[in-house]
Structure 1
Amino acid sequence: MGPERRVILGVDVGATAVRVAAFAVDGTARHVRTRAYPLLQPLPGWHVQDPDVLVAATLAAVSACVADTAGAEVVALAISSPRYGVIGLDATLSPVTPLLTGRDTRSAEVARDLRVSGQSRELHRVTGTPVHPGSPLCKLIWFARHEPYLCTSTRWWVGLKDYLVHRLTGTLVTELSSASGTGMFDVHRRVWSAGVLDLVGVAGSQLPPVLPTTGVLRLSSAAGQAVGLPSGTPVVVGAGDGPSSSLGMAAIDSTVAGLTLAATGALRTVVAAPLVDPAEIFSCAALTEDAWVVGATANNGGNVVRWAGGALEPDPRPASDDQLVAPELLALAERVAPGSDGLVMLPYLLADRASAVDPGPPGAYLGLRSEHSRGHLVRAAVEAVCLHLGGVRDRLTELTPVSSVRLAGGAFRSPLWRAVMAAVLDCPTQVAGEDDDAALGAAALGLFAIGLAADLTEAVTLLSPASARAEPVAVDPALAATYRCLRAKLPALRTVVGRAGEILDEVAAGPGVGWRATTSSRDVVGG
């Protein structure tokens, strides 16, 4: 990359790794660096990370990407991260808790209480965020119930990106996208909700000021030295990973939904103003002041197929994170007839945020016979995940019209995944051009924020011309008919399995069974 080039860095801090992509402003080059970090599970339902480990990994990935682009001018860094994490900081801005990630479900009882009491509907109406264990609102109520001493010593409650931006710039702020995912922010008035904060027991002064997602800060001298960039380099605070992904997929037309599939799945579309789902399934989060992303995350995504591929026998060879399951297993599944010869899977291995039922039915294979092979088990899992995501699309179209879908994620490199997903959706379907959609979305938002693009669409096209040339996926009419028939039968199957699950829960919770968590979050972070 020659000295005449200008690049922008998109920093996507994911669930288990950070991905930093350097995009040439003219779209002619791209460099990507990643660094992994662990997701810790010290107790059942607890999913936490050390915030400083994530910061160190981010700095290392940025530094490596900067070295790859030696001689180029880095015009800005722009950041994307998950929206549901929570970190407690003391008065010196040091963590007193680990990062409680969006996967952390210790507050499930809090979420149930809010739904049973009827408070969840009004909370969702005000904040645009459904009440679920992953939301910061439920996590903070859990802290107030179980660790009140910790709450009294916590000066700030922040998200992951807030902490990272502070470490990069020396300024503690949040932004509209992350704030709108906390469950405590009034998305209509664009302020922290005093009524919700009273319920949670948090003062407004404990939450950071809210900037636009296009807000620009400056890289500190210490951070600049760590990554090899001049102090003062613009740092665009950016949006959450979901809105960033929609932008990176160029799925920002209100009639287009972006569907991403990795370990989890997500379906989102963009509307002009906050739109609240009366069914309390879909969240609403800002991309910019006048672009809001409505969508839901399905916890049961590619991880279900990975489980199916490995639970009964080790894979022929390990699958990459993008592949989810070894290609040999997908090849076996491709040889199985659509509908898996009567084998049906319900993919609910995890409680699912995209489900209208709480906690929802358990996962199950139904119709299992001796003639069913491992290929059947894998194909049924692929079909189950696609059918589940198709149901999410159906519910989304009840909220706002969606006429086409763009697919993204390493899973859709597989012809099987593409064919099944397109047939289930049975509408115009395309595969987006880039896999690092959240990093691209962050960079595109950054390019717009610093004035090098007139609008978001131009920003994506400048950085990645391939994003405008998505590959159409043909819908097989016979395959679509098969899945329409299967989908019609799924509600009855879910009901039956749900009843069976209730009986099994009673068995599992028999006399003398149970445990009570006593470990403190402070113990986990080492405070």
Structure 2
Amino acid sequence: MSGVVIGLDVGTTSVKAVAFAVGSTWRYPAARDCPPGPAQDTELLRTAVLGALAECAAACAGREVLAVSVSTAMHGLLALDSGRLPLTPLLTWADGRAAAQAQRLLESGEAEAVRRVSGAPMHPMTPLAKLLWFRENEPGLWARARWWAGLKELVLLHLTGTLATELSSASGTGLLDVNRRDWNPAALRLAGVRSEQLPAVLPTTATLQLSADAARATGLPQGTPVVAGAADGPLGNLGTSATAPGVASLSLGTSGAVRLLRPGPFADPEGRLFSYALTDAAWVVGGALSNGGGLARWAGEVFAADRAPDPRREADLLELAARVPPGCDGLVMLPYLLPERAPLWRPDLTGAFLGITARHTRAHFVRAALEAAATRLAEIVTDLDRVHPVQTVLLTGGAFRSPLWQEVVTTAIDRPAVLASATDGTALGAAALALHALGLAPDLAAAPTAFPPDAFTL
């Protein structure tokens, strides 16, 4: 087997296209930044996606591109008109405008009924809650909207001309019936939308074709297979080979998450864990923090405002915080700067520092922020023990370039940990899923071994 697979990883702060040569260590990453925020410009996203793919395709000259496989961030929502043109920006998971709608559903018990069918806890980020916000606050736009879609649908539309989603992204909307693998009529009635206003739910292994327009923009051959792919979290598990029983994947970037693979969906009786698809037969259970590695960036803006922003500011501040002893001399942070998700799913919580004394310096405040995020991640690991005892945790994400982040997280989770030194785990998961979809790797769990692994034990 030879050739190249491109894993396209579209997140909330960047787009990365990574070419992986099958059976070889050769790879080529191309990245484009996206302005972060609760609402993203769809044209900037389109430009970033096509630009990253074009650069990646140029680097693959002379190699056969077997497929492009798509990973996207979850929980986005936008409206499209009858011509499939955007009527709104893409509202990301960080958009909290639907807080009142989510709270109303929680208080009425309707959120719990939906969660038992969908596996997705209710939160302002949930597309179901966002739909209610639009229906109640934007009646004119609501009437003009022909389609409601998310980030995956937008990317597939730009690449293939087809408006469709896949099981993994759909499983995070609150609108899916996980047993039927299709939209839940009760949730649609609650949201006030018709099934015809939502894209078809394809398997994550479904294969479409690159359109003529996308071929011209990227330099890839028209008709190149485009695998629908999955959401970024489940693909992160696959890309880091966190697929065996008892092996959890812990990712830490702007946000953070811990996930464990299991066969089939799971409805947490305590309502603390989500359940999202990787394939029809493989699902992840876990929890995600809104307030993860981004706390370090916030700390740099607040506690190092005397320094102009530069690539070293955050790193220097973390080095300073590393001199503070664990426990921060009694300083504790409640890290709820953004509407929090797991494990409490309480978007109304706000942050605070407790135990402040005159001996506490800015280094203490920075370390307290990191320890707060690590404590929340450890709570999710403990929750996962109810699904399957967590024996090993694989660590991924840009935050772990910092030795301090490694220290505080591994101390908090108190489990054997393996640090994946590659930074392209999600894109690698997308590429591995493509091999599985094309029939070139029948064993999904073994698919990443087509690309040499790169990990070491802490």
- The number of aligned residues is 458
SS in 2 for 1:388: helix
1:215 aligns to what? Answer: 206
1:73 aligns to what? Answer: 64
SS in 1 for 2:28: strand
Classify 1:71/1:317 alpha carbon distance in 2 versus 1 (closer, same or farther; 3 Å): farther
What do you get for the CA RMSD once the two structures are aligned? 1.8
In the alignment, the residues of structure 2 paired with residue 184 and residue 64 of structure 1 have an alpha-carbon distance, to the nearest angstrom, of 36
Maintained 8 Å contact 2:124/2:347: no
In the alignment, the residues of structure 2 paired with residue 250 and residue 403 of structure 1 have an alpha-carbon distance, to the nearest angstrom, of 14
Maintained 8 Å contact 2:256/2:293: yes
1:231 aligns to what? Answer: 222
Maintained 8 Å contact 2:96/2:339: no
- Are residues 1:9 and 2:6 paired? yes
1:363 aligns to what? Answer: 351
Deviation of residue 218 (structure 1)?
Answer: 0.7
In the alignment, the residues of structure 2 paired with residue 438 and residue 173 of structure 1 have an alpha-carbon distance, to the nearest angstrom, of 21
Maintained 8 Å contact 2:244/2:261: yes
- Are residues 1:472 and 2:457 paired? yes
2:361 aligns to what? Answer: 373
1:102 aligns to what? Answer: 93
2:378 aligns to what? Answer: 390
Deviation of residue 331 (structure 1)?
Answer: 2.0
In the alignment, the residues of structure 1 paired with residue 189 and residue 240 of structure 2 have an alpha-carbon distance, to the nearest angstrom, of 38
2:422 aligns to what? Answer: 434
2:391 aligns to what? Answer: 403
1:347 aligns with one of 335, 339, 347: 335
Which blocks of at least 5 consecutive residues in structure 1 are unaligned?
41-46, 474-527
In the alignment, the residues of structure 2 paired with residue 193 and residue 178 of structure 1 have an alpha-carbon distance, to the nearest angstrom, of 15
- Are residues 1:183 and 2:195 paired? no
Deviation of residue 361 (structure 1)?
Answer: 4.1
1:23 aligns to what? Answer: 20
1:25-59 CA distance string (max 9 Å, x none): 1132111011112245xxxxxx2112222112100
1:82 aligned partner, one-letter code: A
1:412-447 CA distance string (max 9 Å, x none): 122222122111111111112321211111111111
The TM-score with structure 2 as length reference comes to: 0.96
- Are residues 1:143 and 2:154 paired? no
Higher mean alpha-carbon deviation, 457-466 vs 239-248, is at: 457-466
SS in 1 for 2:85: coil
Deviation of residue 315 (structure 1)?
Answer: 6.9
In the alignment, the residues of structure 1 paired with residue 379 and residue 74 of structure 2 have an alpha-carbon distance, to the nearest angstrom, of 24
Deviation of residue 357 (structure 1)?
Answer: 5.8
1:33 aligns to what? Answer: 30
In the alignment, the residues of structure 1 paired with residue 423 and residue 264 of structure 2 have an alpha-carbon distance, to the nearest angstrom, of 28
SS in 2 for 1:84: coil
Maintained 8 Å contact 2:417/2:457: yes
Maintained 8 Å contact 1:271/1:292: yes
In the alignment, the residues of structure 1 paired with residue 2 and residue 186 of structure 2 have an alpha-carbon distance, to the nearest angstrom, of 50
Maintained 8 Å contact 1:214/1:288: yes
Maintained 8 Å contact 1:315/1:326: no
In the alignment, the residues of structure 1 paired with residue 315 and residue 151 of structure 2 have an alpha-carbon distance, to the nearest angstrom, of 35
In the alignment, the residues of structure 2 paired with residue 358 and residue 243 of structure 1 have an alpha-carbon distance, to the nearest angstrom, of 23
Deviation of residue 278 (structure 1)?
Answer: 2.2
1:71-104 CA distance string (max 9 Å, x none): 1111100000012111211111111121111111
In the alignment, the residues of structure 2 paired with residue 326 and residue 382 of structure 1 have an alpha-carbon distance, to the nearest angstrom, of 12
In the alignment, the residues of structure 2 paired with residue 336 and residue 239 of structure 1 have an alpha-carbon distance, to the nearest angstrom, of 41
SS in 2 for 1:26: coil
Deviation of residue 256 (structure 1)?
Answer: 1.1
Classify 1:404/1:5 alpha carbon distance in 2 versus 1 (closer, same or farther; 3 Å): closer
- Are residues 1:119 and 2:110 paired? yes
Maintained 8 Å contact 1:27/1:465: no
Deviation of residue 198 (structure 1)?
Answer: 1.0
In the alignment, the residues of structure 2 paired with residue 328 and residue 37 of structure 1 have an alpha-carbon distance, to the nearest angstrom, of 25
2:404 aligned partner, one-letter code: L
2:263 aligns to what? Answer: 272
SS in 1 for 2:264: coil
2:319 aligns to what? Answer: 331
In the alignment, the residues of structure 2 paired with residue 276 and residue 68 of structure 1 have an alpha-carbon distance, to the nearest angstrom, of 44
Maintained 8 Å contact 1:317/1:326: no
Structure whose alpha-carbon radius of gyration is higher: 1
SS in 2 for 1:61: helix
In the alignment, the residues of structure 1 paired with residue 164 and residue 347 of structure 2 have an alpha-carbon distance, to the nearest angstrom, of 34
SS in 2 for 1:28: coil
